[in-house]
Amino acid sequence: MGEPLFATTITTIVEGGRVEEKRSRFAAFGGPCPAEADIRHLIEELARRCRLAKASHLSWAARIGASDGRVSELKDDGGESGSGRVILEAMRAKGAGGCLVLVARWYGGRHLGGVRFRIYRSLSDKLLSATAGT
């Protein structure tokens, strides 16, 4: 039996950190996602459990391994152009997979510029670090 495909994964639905910046609120969440077909259901479950219905943006990324060792990478910016890519980069850097990371943003009425991407990255990193191996 070979090495595990991913160094880090998430095996249960988890909530990560929260950040508020200029009245915009951000929160990170994650959960197991062994197959592409599970993505929509997991996002709906996170939205229901974590009360995300009123979030302005739901940005996410997932890395899914196949039995032949290939990795599928999927992302969605949720209306916040470039945010899915930032989450995906955090997952790659941590060697995370078999899971989905979602960051919700409740827009506070002020433009944040590039700082919002640092927040997406920081929340994704913290979530993955806190859940390493869970």
For residue 106, give the CATH number of its domain: 3.30.230.30
Asked whether the beta carbons of 104 and 57 are under 8 A apart, the reply is: yes
For residue 66, what are its two tokens? 């196949």
- Give the pLDDT score at 133: 52
58 inside domain: yes
Q: Give the SS3 label for residue 20.
A: strand
106 inside domain: yes
Domain containing residue 54: 14-130
pLDDT in tens, 11-40: 999 999 999 999 999 999 999 999 999 999
- Give the pLDDT score at 60: 97
- Give the pLDDT score at 42: 94
pLDDT in tens, 62-92: 999 988 889 999 999 999 999 999 999 999 9
pLDDT in tens, 91-130: 999 999 999 999 999 998 888 888 999 999 999 999 999 8
- Give the pLDDT score at 3: 63
Report the C-alpha gap between 30 and 65 in whole angstroms.
17
6 inside domain: no
Report the C-alpha gap between 36 and 57 in whole angstroms.
21
Tell me the Cα Rg of the chain: 14
Residue 1 confidence (pLDDT) above 50:
no
Report the C-alpha gap between 16 and 40 in whole angstroms.
20
pTM: 0.93
Burial of 113 (0-12, 13-18, 19+ CB in 10 A): exposed
7 inside domain: no
